[in-house]
Amino acid sequence: MELVFATHNKNKFKEVQLLLPKHITLRSLDDIGCNDEIPETADTIEGNAIIKANYVTDNYGYACFADDTGLMVDALDGAPGVYSARYAGTNKSSEDNMDKLLAEMEGQTNRDARFKTTIALHLERQKVLFNGIVLGEITTKKSGKGGFGYDPIFRPKGYDKTFAELSISVKNEISHRGKAMKQLIDYLKNLK
């Protein structure tokens, strides 16, 4: 089976590729020659995942899954949420996003947060959604070199390290994306 994962993010692609069974050939947007910046115009994480999966299937003809992820911080009334990737502006810099979030969290005692990932699968005219959530907290400073996005400032509940300090195998086991991917993989295994 061949599937396109609607991403240009090489780190995210690598994480997901490690989770998939070997009989699934995974392609990125770069692999299929899609250099488009797929618009994320929905006001929900689910909506953005659906837009991206549909875009690839409708315009390139491939079975596709796409994800969208949001970081919701309790003290900021759920922000950055659906705007997580462009929280500090349209340049989409992870460093700028983290710096803005840390500045806004200055002096906050409630640092509770959660990551949510929704994966939208568009396969043989079927559209299915899978969700994963992980609880944690925002740290006071960046720690770790691994991962991407907000990983250096997010510490999952029950751990003393940020996502950026954990090994990729541990992160895949407990993360929001890992949980949503497990649901997707189980779904694909049951297709015959």
DSSP secondary structure string, 7-22? ---HHHHHHHHHHS-T
Please give the pLDDT value at position 71.
97
Give the closest residue to 56 by CA, choosing from 80, 32, 86, 88: 32
Identify the DSSP state of 166: S
Query: Which CATH number belongs to the domain containing residue 162 in this structure?
Result: 3.90.950.10
Q: β-strands 25-27, 112-123: how paired?
A: unpaired
Please give the pLDDT value at position 70.
95
Q: Any idea what the Cα angle at residue 156 is, between residues 21 and 134, rounded to 5°?
A: 60
112 tagged catalytic:
no
Please give the pLDDT value at position 23.
84
Provide the residue range defining the domain that includes 107.
2-189
How many structural domains is the chain composed of? 1
pLDDT tens string 108-157: 999 999 999 999 999 988 899 999 999 999 999 999 998 889 999 999 99
Please give the pLDDT value at position 112.
98
Please give the pLDDT value at position 192.
54
pLDDT tens string 180-192: 999 999 998 877 5
User: Choosing from 31, 43, 58, 68, which is the catalytic residue?
Assistant: 68
- Is it the case that residue 48 has pLDDT exceeding 90? yes
**Average confidence (pLDDT) over 14-24:** 84
Written as six digits, the tokens of 125 are 């005219």
**Average confidence (pLDDT) over 162-171:** 93
pLDDT tens string 53-95: 999 999 999 999 999 999 999 999 999 999 998 899 876 689 9
